[in-house]
Amino acid sequence: MNNFIFENNTKTYFGKGCVKEYLTCLSRKYGRNVLFAYGEDSIKKTGIYDEIMESLGKAGKNIIEFPGITSNPTYTKVLEGAELARKNKINLIIAAGDGGVLDCCKAVSIAAVYEGDFWNDFLARTGITDSEPIPLGVVVTTSGTGSGMNGRLVITNETLRIRIGRDYPECSPRFALMDPAYTYSETKCQMVSGGFDTLSHLMENYFTKPDENNVSDDISEALMRSTIQNLRDAVANPQDYTARSNLMWEAAMAGNRIMKLGKQTDIQCRQMEYQLSVYTNCNDGEGIAVLQPVYFRHIYRDGVAKFKRFAVNVWGISDTNRTDEETACAGVEALTGFARKVGLPATLQELGVDENIDLKKIADSCKLPAGYYQRMTQEEILEIFRECL
């Protein structure tokens, strides 16, 4: 394994009823002014909003609401939240919702205390935090991004038409509350796209060097198998608490940096999906479900041994009477079949992308991070987009 340093500052409270049990006492540790951030009205329809407001009220907090954060949060929304936090002298941010809400609030926690250009200094390039971010606590209501236990934030600059992700450990939530029962309010689309997003995060670390036996890959295989089975179970019975709780924790494990230890990360396909979402506003999990199998078909020959291991250890595919390349290819096709089986889109057209969209413009806007089995070019990214139509 490669050298690493590991630390995770987020204290996690997991299980049914954890918000009602812990949020009041946790919030008492901070000053009186709380910024309560969330997405759309669904949080009010499910009762989650009332439960959080009651808990913060018991702690005697002055609550300033910050609603309307989208799943793909914008830089404009970050600046709005930062101004709200400064104006009201916020002591604690509570973010309740999906990964987009959490990511936006991580950015707000720094932008509110930074006097310079937050985009240029912290997103366009990696910055250094010389001021303590506003403390952040999160209430996770969906499974997928794993954003509740890391400092990663993904923000869209709608003017520049670019979406960028950075990971600032200082932005990791001080505490995370994860009640699997909250995910019952997800639609099937949200649930399956979130489950595939978890799987994708695991694969981004798995399909990189070192390829020699290592603990991170062994754990990733177990988590991938578990995610696949639990997503199948949750599709069959959306009220299956065991499946829901496993999916929530699998997402947290995929995102809490443990799977990255001693590994590199291949984020090329996710970079492609980021830019696709900028131009089409597609759901991340659905977008990655369309792109990733096609991306893998382009690179698996340069990592045959690892893709064969994926086929055998994750999907249970026999390598008897198959060449290594045939086994590797069978694993990619198993991933494709699974995505379709749980109801995810298989083409860009199913995402609402038609032939009139300028795929070359999107491909040219994609960053080209270091590839670990094969480095992409803008021309090959365009080819992948076209194959996905």
Give pLDDT tens digits for 107-151: 999 999 999 999 999 999 999 888 899 999 999 999 988 899 999
* Axis-axis angle for helices 75-87, 99-111 (nearest 10): 50
What's the mean pLDDT in 95-114? 97
Q: pLDDT tens digits, residue range 217-243?
A: 999 999 999 999 999 999 999 999 999
What backbone torsions phi and psi does residue 259 show, to the nearest 5 degrees?
-70, -15
CA–CA separation, 315 and 308 (whole Å): 10
3-state secondary structure of 157: strand
Question: Above 80 in pLDDT, residue 359?
Answer: yes
Mean pLDDT calculated for residue range 146-171: 95
- Residue-level pLDDT at 354: 84
Best CATH choice for the domain 11-182 from the list 3.40.190.10, 3.40.50.720, 3.40.50.970, 3.40.50.1970:
3.40.50.1970
SS3 308: helix
Q: Would you call 94 helix, strand, or coil by DSSP?
A: strand
**CATH match of 188-388 with 1.20.1090.10:** yes
What's the whole-model pTM score? 0.95
Amino acid, single-letter form, for residue 67: P
The pLDDT score that the predictor gives to residue 211 is: 86
pLDDT in tens, 279-327: 998 999 999 999 999 999 999 999 999 999 999 999 999 999 999 999 9
* Structural contact between residues 222 and 265, judged by C-beta atoms closer than 8 angstroms: no
Query: For all residues of the chain together, what is the average pLDDT?
Result: 95
Cβ-based neighbour number of residue 64 at 10 Å: 17
Residue 30 tokens read as 């901070």
By percentage, how much of the chain surpasses pLDDT 90?
A: 87
Domain boundaries, the chain: 11-182, 188-388
